[in-house]
Structure 1
Amino acid sequence: MNELNIGETILKLRKERKLTQEELALMIGISAGAVSKWENGNSMPDISILAPLARALNTSIDTLLSFHKELSEEEVNNIKSKLTKIFLHEGYAVGEKECKRYLSEYPNSIYLKVEVAGLLNTYLMMSEDDSEEFIKAKRQEALDLFN
């Protein structure tokens, strides 16, 4: 969900504070070029810079890193859309692998679990393994997510 949008976040917060790249850079002891690279997505700040950067932008490190304990409905819908495309274009095995990756990244998101369970169940028919055992096991995994 979590895609890391730190550059966009820095740009937005810097503009809200009416700071130039040079002013922000001076506040945290780096070059204006480094700020520019962050904002353009060409690089990311070093971890040692995050606390001073957050203080300079009057925010938290969680906000800088786009960290949220829970995913929003919009974020879950975006993930669901990406997963649907993966199932359709790359097949069930790849889709299932990506579903598991998202579930491990956001283990507490009930809404994500419900949506992933639905996707796993829906696209199961696309699996190369159509044995009764396999289908039964995968349906149980999807059911377990619902629970």
Structure 2
Amino acid sequence: MVEYIGKRIRTEKRITVRGLAKMADIAPSTISKWENGSAVPDLAALDLVAKAMKVQPFDLVKFV
């Protein structure tokens, strides 16, 4: 199982959900679902978010 842990990185970089959504061209509600655990990003979305936050995609997820 995969858990999205990008919220920690997003908050450390002082990026809002809306700001990240705009940078990655993803709906803010989608990012919120990842952060509250009701959904996980697919690989394409994970790559977009990683590029927007200038991290590696696997920095944003943890395998549980």
In 1, Cα distance between the equivalents of 2:11 and 2:18?
12
Q: Which runs of 5+ in 1 are unaligned?
A: 68-147
In 1, Cα distance between the equivalents of 2:62 and 2:54?
15
| SS of match in other structure, 2:14 | coil
Q: Which runs of 5+ in 2 are unaligned?
A: none
Query: Which one has a larger percent helix, Structure 1 or Structure 2?
Result: 1
Q: Which residue matches 1:5?
A: 3
Amino acid at match of 2:59: T
TM-score, normalised to structure 1, is: 0.40
Q: Which residue matches 1:79?
A: none
Amino acid at match of 1:27: M
Q: Which has the higher contact order (CA 8 A, sep 6+)?
A: 2
Q: Which residue matches 1:46?
A: 42
| SS of match in other structure, 2:2 | coil
In 1, Cα distance between the equivalents of 2:12 and 2:62?
17
Count of residue pairs the alignment pairs up: 63
1:27-106 matches, within 5 Å, as: 27-66=23-62
| Overall identity of the aligned pairs, in % | 32
In 1, Cα distance between the equivalents of 2:53 and 2:36?
17
After superposition, the CA RMSD in angstroms is 1.5
Question: Aligned-pair distance for 1:50?
Answer: 1.5
TM-score, normalised to structure 2, is: 0.83
List, as ranges, runs of 4+ consecutive aligned residues in structure 1 with deviation greater than 6 Å.
none
State whether structure 2 residue 14 is matched by structure 1 residue 18. yes
Query: Over alpha carbons, which structure has the higher Rg?
Result: 1
